Structure 1
């Protein structure tokens, strides 16, 4: 089965190349890697140009991650869809392990795995304790950990563009309500980088508000229709 991978990037020049290489360097390589520059003002576009034909590079005016991901998904051609954040890293056997799970059971619609959180090496010592995760390795029901069948993604519908930071929480709540069949590989599939640019760590009030809105939507979706 062909895998399309989507990466949305905004002012991501510090970590983007490493993220892309972690996707291209899989033991089972993806069919295509679609990277969309969400109106960056730094050197992100130059990073994409260096990869040439190894990736599909798109550009849009700054509209937020949910809009960028939805636009990239509209161009994806694979039967399976994966995601990577521009500052995170896939472990090298992520696709191999998740493909084995999906190919071995046609009832499974989406595969997840464990996530390992780490403080980026470029974070100054004075800030490292603040960013240190309470739990290093945990189950990862995160966008970047998911490999999903394209048909299942289309059945659930697009990401909510009114929730630029927490759109995946709302989407996953809706997906589970619709009966999405999920399985997990018992291994680390993503290394999540913690750094000073993480929106959820540096702008916690806004992040918490969006999380509450996303949870409200997920709860509303679970209520029986009147």
Structure 2
């Protein structure tokens, strides 16, 4: 599939456009607010970058661009993607697939204040781009088999993000409400889910989802790297180098 790098570039561009569109609206809303906490742009901007969805989309877009550039530079050979790129793709794919799952199971039915969300951007960030990353796992060429320990690598960033979120939450005044706390997602707010025990339940559930999806992504990479088509490509590349 010589066209796949271009599909990666197009998907990454769409995701970045969606992030920029939502950020622009967020800043615009903040500029129109009269309260000091709602119009404090440093807090508004940092909150925006504290959403797991935004972080995952930015990471995935950058990784897909890097992967596309690498593939275009190596389009004349049958070399597998390098290990570092394969690990980044596993992480990006895992986070985006989990983003899609969490949004569509826990957050889709939650009403947001009118005018604070760009509808098409919301769908791209939570549905379209996660689906593309799933397709990338299933069909992108030149997959490299990685050890199962890679699954634990995927858990590092979500754990750090969760700890950062829970520590920061009570240090921030919520721009929209003026509350002396701010959580990016309602299922992380102990006031809404029955205390920190309720939060822990959601965190454990999402951690299980991350590990499960990470296992699926690594397994798929190992399976596709060991497929007859991949083995044939490697054999041809080896025989060409020997000749």
What TM-score comes out, normalization by structure 2 length? Answer: 0.25
Which structure is richer in relative contact order (CA contacts within 8 A, separation 6 or more)?
Answer: 2
Structure with greater Cα Rg? 2
What TM-score comes out, normalization by structure 1 length? Answer: 0.27
Which structure's residues are more often strand, by fraction? Answer: 1
